[in-house]
Amino acid sequence: MSSILIVDSDGKSLTAMQRKLRKSFETHIALGPRLGLQRIKEEGPYALVLAEFSMPEMDGIDFLAEVRTLCPETTRVLVSRSPMDVADLMRAVNEGKIHHVLPASCEEATLGAAVQEGVDHYKRISTSADNMHEVHAIFAKAVHELVCWLRGDVRGVISPLLPLLRSLGQKAQNPTPTITETALLLSIIGLIVLPPAVLEKIVRGQTLTDEELLIFARHPEHAVEWVRHLPQLHEVADVLREYANALHLCLLPESAEPTERPAISMEATLLAMVLEYRLAGYAQLENAEILARMRRNSLYSQTLVKAFEAVLLDLNQDEVELSLDSLQPGMVLARAVIGIRDGVDVVMVPEGYELSRTTIVFLRQSARHGQVREPFFVRKMSVIPQEDNDIA
- pLDDT recorded at residue 16: 94
Q: 80-89, 152-161, 183-192: lowest mean pLDDT where?
A: 152-161
Identity at 349, one-letter amino acid code? V
Question: Of 76, 73, 37, 75, which Cα lies nearest the Cα of 58?
Answer: 37
Q: How far is CA 278 from CA 110, 256, 299, 388, in A?
A: 57, 24, 17, 31
How far does CA 265 lie from the centroid of its chain? 23
Find all residues with CB under 8 Å of 113, minimum gap 6, and list them: none
**Confidence class of residue 122 from pLDDT cuts 50, 70 and 90?**
confident
Q: Which residues pair with 252 in a beta bridge?
A: none
Helical (H) or strand (E) element with 239: helix 234-251
pLDDT averaged over every residue in the chain: 86
DSSP reduced 3-state for 322: strand
Q: 1-5, 86-90, 195-199, 259-263: lowest mean pLDDT where?
A: 259-263
**Confidence class of residue 390 from pLDDT cuts 50, 70 and 90?**
very low
Question: Of 9, 90, 13, 12, which Cα lies nearest the Cα of 56?
Answer: 9
- pLDDT recorded at residue 17: 95
Q: Is the pLDDT of residue 253 over 80?
A: no
Buried b (16+ CB within 10 A) or exposed e, 363-373: beebeeeeebe
- pLDDT recorded at residue 275: 95
Whole-number Å distance between alpha carbons of 258 and 256: 6
Instruction: Choose between 246 and 94: higher pLDDT.
Output: 246
- pLDDT recorded at residue 388: 37
Q: Is the pLDDT of residue 146 over 70?
A: no
Whole-number Å distance between alpha carbons of 144 and 248: 23
Percent of the chain exceeding pLDDT 70 equals 89
Q: For residue range 310-342, list pLDDT tens digits in order.
A: 999 887 678 899 999 899 888 888 898 998 888
User: Is the distance from CB of 284 to CB of 249 less than 8 angstroms?
Assistant: no
Q: For residue range 184-202, list pLDDT tens digits in order.
A: 989 988 998 899 999 999 9
Whole-number Å distance between alpha carbons of 338 and 350: 9
- pLDDT recorded at residue 7: 97
The arithmetic mean of pLDDT across residues 176-187, rounded, is 91
Long-range contact set of residues 10-16: C-beta below 8 Å, sequence gap at least 24: 10/52, 13/52, 13/81, 13/104
Q: Is the pLDDT of residue 228 over 90?
A: no
- pLDDT recorded at residue 389: 36
Identity at 333, one-letter amino acid code? L
- pLDDT recorded at residue 132: 62
The arithmetic mean of pLDDT across residues 259-267, rounded, is 77
Q: 9-23, 44-58, 81-95, 165-179: lowest mean pLDDT where?
A: 81-95
Question: What 8-state DSSP symbol labels residue 353?
Answer: P
Instruction: Choose between 134 and 268: higher pLDDT.
Output: 268
